[in-house]
Amino acid sequence: MFLTLPRVGENHQHRSVVEMVEGKPIAFPDSATTMPSDKPYVDWIVSPLGLIAHDNTLWGKRSGIDGIPDGAAKIVGIDIDSRKIVKEIVFHRPFFRDTIQLNDLRFDSRHGKEGTLYISNNGYAERDSSLIVVDVATGLMREVFRNQPETSAAPGFMTYVEGVPHAYSLAHPTIPQGRVTGIELSPGDSTLYWTTRPMRTTTAYRLTS
């Protein structure tokens, strides 16, 4: 079992990626890569969110912050047995923007020479939501459904929290904000599913190849 411990809500002093071994969290791939450090952000895993294992490789990516330096937002592939980083795909500017907030990801083995990664971009401060498609072999990236209904909260959506009604509102937020987050592939990688946070819409979407 592998877990990410992102620093989105709190700049904690623990490891950012761990493997659970006999019930204890062990730094993965090692402490030098995942523990807080004075090294530049590009040299260690600062705040990973999405994580997926495929073909004995652990794929994850670093989340963004305001003013994140070029080269620090990236997808990292780690061979599980050797604990070695085998792939890094960097989100360079201007494709990467401070308003991007990378969230969950899934690995598609059917498309592309080395596979394809799909990432939900939740959008920082309620802006710039999209899906990001990455070709693993070349590192080429593209955005789809940027700021479209398929990746955004439903206008006027209402939900109940502990019996109290709340309407989604950017101007007067009373519930947690956010856009597209959940993303999943069907068995065989033929269909991609995604949705926004449960408090934003009751709709799920899919694309089939």
For 50-80, the pLDDT digits (tens) are 888 888 777 655 554 567 788 888 999 999 9
Query: Does the pLDDT at position 110 exceed 80?
Result: yes
Q: Rounded to the nearest 10 degrees, how much is the dihedral formed by the CA atoms of 169, 8, 182, 157?
A: -10
pTM: 0.82
Query: Averaged over 169-197, what is the pLDDT?
Result: 80
All domains of the chain in start order, with CATH:
2-147 (2.120.10.30)
Q: How confident is the model at residue 144 (pLDDT cuts 50, 70, 90)?
A: very high
Determine which helix (DSSP H) or strand (DSSP E) holds 77, and give its type and residue range.
Answer: strand 74-79
Q: Read off the pLDDT band of 29 (50, 70, 90).
A: very high
Closest C-alpha to 4, from 57, 44, 55, 60: 60
pLDDT at 179: 75
Mean pLDDT of the chain: 84
What pLDDT shows up at residue 8?
73
Q: Is the dihedral of CA 18, 23, 24, 30 positive or negative?
A: negative
In this structure, the number of other CB atoms found within 10 A of the CB of residue 159 comes to 15
